[in-house]
Structure 1
Amino acid sequence: MSELDDIRSFIAVVETGGFGRAGRSLGLSKSIVSRRIARLEEDLGTRLLSRTTRGVSPTEAGIEFKARGERILADLVEAREAVAQQAGGVAGRLRLSMPLGFGVKHVAPVLAELAARHPRLELDVEASDRRVDLIGERFDAAIRLGTLKDSSLVARKIAPIYTSVLASPDFIARHGSPASPLELSQYECLVHSGATTPDWTFRINRRWVPVRPSGRLRSDSGETLMQWAMAGHGIVALPNFMASEAIGEGKLVHVLREYPMPEQGFFVVRPPGAYVPGKVRVLIDLLVERFGGEPYWDACHMAARKLGIDLNDPMGSERVGEMMAEHQPA
């Protein structure tokens, strides 16, 4: 299989832009990767890489060879998976990255179900808010939330994510509630210090308007901000997947409901390539099965609106809590 190893090394060099980085991604020394590329070029009788002081890049022949090499490796993986499935389902190791809070609360139960469905599938999951390098660190897939930046990664949107502005009933009783987002400056807000932007953005009169929240309590943890909000320390903006239970229990109520915030997303991203490995495909299929369309944390609130249930009323909140318990995966 040395020729296949040489092809893998070459593709890694092109994707990472250097022999050392390719070696780290493959768990090999730089010298071994260099020897493999030299052997490939000697066998093919042509240069595949242009080497400069700034790094390496594929030649025209290298671009063509990379495309064909990727197809060869994809065909090999597909052949192995076809045989494995005939022998008893998806097999191999799925290395997955997922956000800590969201992953533990919502995704971990689905992964347990995935493991039960596919006994020959191994799961290696990193639950962390660290943004991993899928290619360099050899992850098969990652779950990401929010708005994706342009990249070479292939993304599949599983579900929308909506954000709500919330406060405790006690806070509203003591301080009142802003009539519009522009009045937020008059209120104590709980600020997410790790957010990609410091502003809260609202749709006002068909325009998206950024508003800068301010307050004395800041944290890079959404869970911490939610605890502070429930304790009556201020107004907070939280994704529904985090706050739905607190809303259903009446611990938090909606503020500025008529001013929506931008929709974001729940995505699975994977390394580039047309072929989707079977282990990634079954993960995506199950996530779509469980969360596609309207996730349970949003579906119950949508149903409450249709039934005319007031989510700021204690009895209404209790009913939504019951609905969430009925819809949430076991």
Structure 2
Amino acid sequence: MRLPDLEAWATFATVADHSSFSAAATAMGVSKATVSKAVARLEASLGQSLFHRTSRRLTLTEAGKPLAERAQRMLAEAVAAEEAAHDAASAPAGRLRVAAPMTFGVTHVAPLIAEFLAAHPAIEIELALSDARVDIVAEGFDVALRIAELPDSSLRARRLRSVASHIVAAPAYLERYGTPRHPGELGDHRLLGYTNVTGPWRFRGPGGAEVAVRASGPLAANSGDSLMPALIAGLGIARLPDFILGDALNDGRLTEILPEWRPAPVGLHLLTPPSPLRPARVEALIAFLSERLHD
């Protein structure tokens, strides 16, 4: 049996990740010539070009794109296998990259990360907060928290809890435009939309009745927090979760409407790359976050 050229595959994955032969050589601690020869060797073995090369840019060919994803998974699993063997004989250590939604990350995740680091002084964490959906594998994240209904994918996912949302408006808005008594009336109102969640607003009400409403209004944003000033100023109605609404409901700046028609809750999920091999530091963080963020 002819064994695969694993060194060439690993080199190809690193070049694809850095989009540069020079940057890949620096990351690997070898010469640029060594990197070029390894990629050329792999291209010769496969009988096809993996990169488009110009004086200014290096891009993957159509054939190279799916192969790069496989090569990066191969490299990640090899690294994880080595780290797992090392971790078995030592305390969790090393660097972790964690992704989380912006507001939930600030209010819920960041305090837990501080607690986790205090208990694991040999671990370092890079916490990336964004409401955009990140590509965990391509961007090199070890763990991601995502509040959404997940599409089918190869990622490993664990549902931790449900996140409830509320339909809210400022008293000034309701005084000016009236209070809707049924979700079907929302179509006549000014709705503030959250663009990272596509599709209509879905409700379940008395007797199991279901209603869907398309959000349309003066403001749509990819951050729930950015809707709050317009919402409190009385410019519309919004659907937002507890961790964004904060004290605005309790102190009267906002009023919940349609309380008998609940928006469908979404799940808080913990995602990891598809490889079943995970270093001890990743397993430690997964166990910690799962315990603390579970219902």
Counterpart check, 1:152 vs 2:154: yes
One-letter amino acid of the structure 1 residue matched with residue 292 of structure 2: R
Counterpart code for 2:48: R
- Per-residue CA deviation, residues 113-171 of structure 1 (Å, 9 max, x unaligned), is 11111011111222233433332332222222212232222222222122211112343
Structure 2 letter corresponding to 1:111? I
Task: Give the structure 1 partner of residue 236 of structure 2.
Answer: 234
**Cα offset for 1:267?**
1.9
Q: Structure 1 97/67 Cα, relative in aligned 2: closer, same or farther at 3 Å?
A: closer
User: Structure 1 residues 235, 67: CA separation in 2 closer, same or farther (over 3 Å shift)?
Assistant: closer
CA distance in 1, matches of 2:96, 2:174: 47
Match of 1:21 among 16, 22, 30: 16
SS at match of 1:28: helix
Measure the CA separation in 2 of the matches of 1:223 and 1:257: 22
1:207 deviation in Å?
5.3
Q: 1:209 aligns with which of 207, 211, 214?
A: 211
CA deviations over 1:188-244 (Å, ceiling 9, x no partner): 32233x234252122256454321233234433311212222232221111222114
TM-score, normalisation: structure 2: 0.75
2:188 alignment counterpart: 186
User: Residue 178 of structure 1: CA displacement?
Assistant: 1.0
SS, match of residue 248 in structure 1: coil
Residue 55 of structure 1: which of 63, 70, 81 is its match? 63
Structure 1: segments with no counterpart, 5+ residues: 1-5, 294-330
**1:10 counterpart letter in structure 2:** W
Return 248-257 or 32-41, whichever deviates more. 32-41
> Which amino acid is the alignment partner of residue 202 of structure 2?
T
Task: Give 1:74 deviation, angstroms.
Answer: 3.7
Task: Indicate if the aligned counterparts of 2:99 and 2:130 stay in contact, CA closer than 8 A.
Answer: yes
Q: Is the contact between residue 23 and residue 33 of structure 1 (CA under 8 Å) also seen in structure 2?
A: no
TM-score w.r.t. length of structure 1? 0.68
Q: How many residues align?
A: 269
Partner amino acid for 2:9? F
Of residues 137-146 and 69-78 in structure 1, the stretch that sits farther from structure 2 once superposed is: 69-78
Q: Do the aligned partners of 1:25 and 1:137 also contact (CA within 8 Å) in 2?
A: no
Residue number in structure 2 paired with 1:79: 85
Q: Helix, strand or coil: the match of 1:84?
A: coil
Alignment of 1:73-152 (within 5 A): 73-85=79-91, 90-152=92-154
Residue 7 of structure 1 corresponds to which residue in structure 2? 6
- Greater share of helix: 1
Q: Contact 2:160–2:294 at 8 Å: present in 1 too?
A: yes
Q: Name the CA distance, whole Å, in 2 between partners of 1:84 and 1:179.
A: 61
Bigger RCO of structures 1 and 2 (CA < 8 A, at least 6 apart): 2
Q: Does structure 2 conserve the Cα–Cα contact (< 8 Å) formed by 1:142 and 1:269? A: yes
Matched-pair identity in %: 35
Does the aligned pair in 1 maintain the 2:96–2:126 contact within 8 Å? yes
RMSD, aligned CA: 3.5
1:21–1:136: 8 Å Cα contact kept in structure 2? no
